[in-house]
Amino acid sequence: MPDPIVIERLYRASLADLWTLWTTPEGLEAWWGPPGFRVTVQEMSLTPGGALRYTMIAEAPEMVAFMQKNAMPTATPCQAIYDTVIRPTSATSPARLTWRNLVDFVPGHAPYYTNMAADFEPQPDATLLRLTFDPLHDAVWSDRQRMGWEQELGKLATALGDGV
């Protein structure tokens, strides 16, 4: 199996603020999804074995066109299952989320789960986020996933009011 992909970002934000954006429906709706997409959360049960169900919606004209050109729907129901939820116990304690994301949106490819983890490490006046995830079934889709997450983490910075 290929090595996991790791992306780290330092946000000039408190752990509490970052955690809220990852662990509430309103928080996810503020930033989740690559540029040109938005999400609506239908279910978020933040416990081990709990579900995250949301709809990813292409709204930018170029994203709608890309999805249509590649025979993909412009609104896709998505789901994940939380495996680990380690909540912060103080402003200086680390936190962690792990989940299995259902990859069922690739044309011509059978659905499968991929492992994801988000580690939150408080720093002086900032929080380090380390996102770790399994590569997808091939290099092209793995690269799309990595680029998508890098863009999403940029949207997260904007939602935090952080220019990082």
Residue 26's CATH number: 3.30.530.20
d(CA 95, CA 53): 22
Instruction: Read off the pLDDT of each residue in 121-138 and give the average, rounded to a whole number.
Output: 95
Write down the pLDDT at residue 109.
87
Does residue 135 sit within a domain?
A: yes
Does residue 73 sit within a domain?
A: no
Does residue 60 sit within a domain?
A: no
Does residue 64 sit within a domain?
A: no
Instruction: Read off the pLDDT of each residue in 16-30 and give the average, rounded to a whole number.
Output: 97
Does residue 57 sit within a domain?
A: no
Instruction: Read off the pLDDT of each residue in 100-108 and give the average, rounded to a whole number.
Output: 86
Does residue 105 sit within a domain?
A: yes
pTM for this one? 0.91
127-131, long-range: CB < 8 A, 24+ apart: 127/10, 127/11, 127/13, 127/14, 127/15, 127/18, 128/8, 128/9, 128/10, 128/11, 129/8, 129/9, 129/10, 129/11, 129/18, 129/153, 129/156, 130/6, 130/7, 130/8, 131/6, 131/7, 131/8, 131/9
Instruction: Read off the pLDDT of each residue in 84-113 and give the average, rounded to a whole number.
Output: 92
Does residue 95 sit within a domain?
A: yes
pLDDT digits (tens, 9 = 90+) for 46-83: 999 999 999 999 999 999 999 899 888 899 899 999 99
Does residue 66 sit within a domain?
A: no
With CA atoms as reference, report the closest residue to 80 among 105, 47, 102.
102
- When divided into structural domains, the chain yields a total of 1
**Domain containing residue 140:** 5-33+45-50+80-160
Instruction: Read off the pLDDT of each residue in 76-91 and give the average, rounded to a whole number.
Output: 95
